[in-house]
Each structure stands twice: as C-alpha cells, then as structure tokens.
Structure 1
Amino acid sequence: MTDSIGVAVIDGHTLTRYGLVSLVSSAADIRIVGECGCAAEAAAVVAAAAPDVVVLDVALPDGDGLRVAREFRDRYPDLGIVLLTSATEDDVLFRALETGVSAFVCKTAPNAEVLAAIRHAAVAAASFTATGLALALGRRATVATGLVLSPREREVLSLLVDGLSVPTIAKSMYVSHSTAKTYVARLYEKLGACNRAQAIMGALRLGLIEQSLSVPA
C-alpha cells in the first residue's frame, strides 16, 4: 500500500462524495485517506491526511473551490489537485488553469477519465490537463483574433495591469481625466468588463496578457 496514491475528497454533495470514494476505492493503486464536505474543513483534512492528491469540487456549500485550490497550491506545491465541476464553460476551465490545478474534470466524465486525472495529478502536479482544453484554446484564439485594441487601449490595459488609477493614467498618458476615463470605459466595453479585475482577467484569458499576474483589487 505504500506505493498507492493517497486521495482526499472534498465535495459538498454527499452522494457525489460517496460515489467518488467508492470509485477510488475500487482502484488497486488508489486509496482514500480523508474526506469532507465543505471549505471550512478542507485545510484541516489535508493537513491531517497528507494526501498525494485532493479531489475538489468547484462549488462548495460554504466557499469557492477555486479559492481553496489556490490556497492548497500556494501551501503544497507538490500536491496533485483535481478540480471537479458541473460547469463546462470555457471561463471556468481557464480559471482552473490560472489557479494552478493539475486536472479539470467534468462530473459527467466517465469513471476512467476521473481515475486517469487522479493518476496524472499524482505524478505531474504542476502539469495541467483537461478534456476539451485544445478546443477551448481554439475558441479563445478566435475571439482574441476578432478583438482589436487600439494602441491607446493597449497602453491603458498595461497601465491598469500596473495598478494605476484613472487620474494617474491621465497623467501618464498626458491626457485629461475625462479622456482617460473614456479610454478605460472603451477598454472595459471591449473586454465585457465592469471593473479593473474583470478587465485584466478577461485580457489574460484572451491571450492579450502573456504572463501570470497578481490582479490588483
């Protein structure tokens, strides 16, 4: 049993959690070492059980599974993290990729795919895998190709990434405050954003920002 993969399951749906535990227990090379149904207990369970892989639901009853995943990744760089979701939107997939999880699996996926994701996470925690990733990247590239930012809008985006306020952006670009507000508003509109964080995350998902970022509040 020393070579088996230790798994902790964190899912707020009792039947889903029971099903995952049963599925994992049926595999000779995988064993359950801990489980819970909420974000509040997740950290303690993982600390006590020291799993090789945690299987985590995106939508926990008391918190955001992606936020929990980020905390795990920051605290345990070698921990395999398999994110389960009922949502198949590209936006959720890219958020998972940005969070640093090991695998992203839909809850309707075949059992073999779930087990394969756990095995992948156990040996390649820092390598992201997801069914449909190539198609999602293709859709993102198509959207990005149709989205054209003017040189001014690209400059505004860069300044927003740097955390500058609208008045400071105006000074940096040598334009009036109202003109700077107009530039920012147009950029938000193109990115479908309502604030700075949404604009930056949208630009990141569209490939308009190349590196990983700490998004300003």
Structure 2
Amino acid sequence: MSDQVKVVVVDGHTLVRFGLVELVVQEADLEIVGETGLGADALAIVATSKPDVLVLDAVLPDLDGLEMAREFRYKYPDLGIVLLASDGRDDVLFQALESGVSAFVTNTAPIEEVLAAIRHAAVAATSFTATGLAPAMARRDQPQAQPLLSPREAEVLSLLGQGLSVRAIATSLCVSLSTAKTYVARLYEKLGASNRAQAIMHALKLGLLESL
C-alpha cells in the first residue's frame, strides 16, 4: 500500500527488536522496511530503504544512539525519529529533545504509546513529543532551592553547637570579634532565634545540625 508508513527498527536487544517488528507488522498503516541490531548497519539501511520513521534505541552495542539521532536528523531533515530508552529520567528526556528526535518513549511504555509515537513521527518529524514532557519542563523551570545558610554561617552554627563562645569563634575563623558577632547575629536572624540555645534547637529541627 502506497499510503503505509515505512519503518526501520534499530535496537541492539534482539527480543525487543523482534517484538517491535511484530508490533508494527500487525498495523495496517505501518510497514517494516528494515531492522538491525547495529548502528553501523542502520546508516546503510536508512539510505537504501528510505523509511518514513526510524525507531532507534538510545544504547546500541556499537554506537551511541543519541549521537546517531543527531546525525540522522542532520542528514534527513524529514525523517521521523522515535528514540527508545530504558531510562525515562528528565535528563535523558531533555537529551532526546535536544538531539532533534520526533518522539521519546521508554522500553516499558504501553504498546499504544509506542504506536502513537511512530505515527506522530511520520507526520510531524520536527515536532517533539514525549509522555511526561510537560511535568519535566515544569520541574526544569523551577528555581533551585537555595540553602538556608551560607557555608560560613553553617560553619558558625557548627562552632556554636560545639559550645564555643563568640570570641572563640572569631579566633577559630581568623576574623575580628565584631565580624564574628555579625555572623552570629545573621545566623540568629535566619533561624528566628534570639540566643544560642534557640538557634541550636531550631537548627536541629531543620536538620541543619547533627544531634548533640
């Protein structure tokens, strides 16, 4: 059928590859035109079979799947590329996004999700889709939580916890007494404390200080 989507499967895991091939051939609108377990063979297969969609494993025995995805995107701008990965972590998903693939799915994704990714890639090669993309983007856009205490304030807290006086803290840190007093005052302010005992108690509750 001329309107069938031509698919090439490249996966180093034999059972996974066979499973994908069997999955695709059962679909009336999809057609397998090539399959291999090696990245080196994929280059020739894609060149000769001219598929609409390449299903590519991120980890191949001989080549880096992500690097291959970038190469295929550069050589074949209209090729749909579905990247398969065993790891669905945010950083892996964003690497897939940056590589220029059309879709990202994990090896454990439901059959319907894999087929949907292939069909998406066939009609929107340059439009990225992945389950969990929106939450991952939200997590990436969230500002990293800043530590409550600066490294120096944490050091002062530790010395207070050891029972050192402000003068002894100044000596330990090699700073003037007035500077040490400023550190302690700033520490109290951040912890909502008015004295050493309160500061230590609040710090323990916040997990900023090991139990004494």
**Which TM-score bucket, shorter chain as reference?**
0.5 to 0.7
Gaps of 5+ in 1: 149-217
Separation (CA, whole Å) in 1 of partners of 2:70 and 2:141: 26
Are 2:106 and 1:123 aligned? Answer: no
Q: Identity over the aligned pairs, expressed in percent?
A: 65
State the match for 1:169 in structure 2.
Answer: none
| RMSD (Å), alpha carbons | 1.3
In structure 2, runs of 5+ residues without a counterpart are: 148-212
Give the match's secondary structure for 1:20: helix
Aligned match of 1:139: 139
Give every structure 1 segment of 4 or more consecutive aligned residues whose post-TM-superposition deviation is greater than 4 Å: none
* Residue 11 of structure 1 pairs with residue 14 of structure 2: no
Letter in 1 for 2:45: V
Separation in 2 of the partners of 1:146 and 1:121? 37
Q: What secondary structure, in the 3-state scheme, does the structure 2 residue paired with 1:63 have?
A: coil
TM-superposed deviation, 1:88: 1.1
Distance 1:30 1:134, change over 3 A: same
- Per-residue CA deviations over 1:7-59 (Å, capped at 9, x if unaligned) read 00000011000000000001000000001111111100100110000000000
Change in 2 beyond 3 A, CA 1:78/1:147: farther
Provide the rounded CA distance (Å) in 1 between the counterparts of 2:101 and 2:82. Answer: 6
Query: For 1:104-145, what per-residue CA distance to the aligned partner results, in whole angstroms no more than 9, with x for missing partners?
Result: 001111111100000000000000000000111111112x35
**Residue in 2 aligned with 1:215?**
none
Q: Which residue of 2 aligns with 1:45?
A: 45
- Structure 1 position 94 matched with structure 2 position 98: no
Aligned counterparts of 2:63 and 2:18: Cα–Cα separation in 1: 20
The change in CA–CA distance for 1:73 and 1:31 in structure 2 (over 3 A counts) is: same
What TM-score results when the alignment is normalised by the length of structure 2?
0.68
Q: Does 1:61 align with 2:50?
A: no
3-state SS, counterpart of residue 59 of structure 1: coil
